[in-house]
Amino acid sequence: MSLSEQQVTQIAYLARLSLSDDELKDNTKDLNAILGLAEQLGAIETDSIEPMAHPLHMIQRLRADTVTEHDQSDLFQSIAPKTGNKHYLVPTVIE
């Protein structure tokens, strides 16, 4: 199967990316080529194989429920594009 330009536009939107006409053409070609590569995996029988999510088969560690971070909001907000009253500002969502 191959992706149409319309599908690629939809995928881009899901990832919050917008593509120019040229980018859309190039990406449709490239994404189809990459997915074509992935189709090779269809040749392998994997029904009885466990998926491997992590190389060391680790379990997430738990930590003590103690405060380890102190408030650094001024420092962190000093590099934000736009802030006000300790909030990150974005264009108005609801009037």
Partner 1 sequence: MSIYTKTIAQLSQGLKDKEFSSVEITQHYLDRIKQSDLNAFITVTDELAMSQARAADEKIAAGTSNILTGIPYAHKDIFCTQGVKTSAGSKMLDNFISPYDATVSHQLNQADTVMLGKVNMDEFAMGSSNENSFYGAVKNPWNTDKIPGGSSGGSAAAVAGGLSCFATGTDTGGSIRQPASLCGITGLKPTYGRVSRYGMIAYASSLDQAGPMTKTAEDAAIVLNAMAGFDEKDSTSAEQAVPDYTANLNDSIQGLTIGLPKEFFSEGLDDEVATQVMNAVKEFEAMGATVKEISLPNSAYAIPTYYIVAPCECSSNLSRLDGVRYGYRCDEPKDLEDLYLRSRSEGFGAEVKRRIMIGAYALSAGYYDAYYLKAQKTRHLISDDFKKAFAEVDVIMGPVSPTTAFDLGSVKDPVSMYLADIYTLSANLAGLPGMSIPAGFSNKLPVGLQLIGNYWSESKLLNIAHQFQQQTDWHQQTPQED
**Residues binding partner 1 (CB under 8 A):** 3, 8, 11-12, 14-19, 23, 26-27, 30-31, 33-42, 44, 46, 49-56, 58, 60-61, 63, 72, 75-76, 78-82, 88, 90-93
Residue type at 81 in one-letter notation: P
Instruction: Give, as one character, the DSSP assignment of residue 83.
Output: E
Pairing of strands 83-84, 87-88: antiparallel
Q: Which is nearer to partner 1, 44 or 67 (CB)?
A: 44
Question: Based on CB atoms, which residue is closest to partner 1, 78 or 85?
Answer: 78
Q: How far is the CB of 65 from partner 1 (least distance, A)?
A: 14
Residue the block writes with tokens 């593509």: 19
Minimum distance of partner 1 from residue 29's CB (angstroms): 9
Q: Provide the token pair at 10.
A: 């939809």
Instruction: Identify the residue whose tokens are 């680790």.
Output: 58
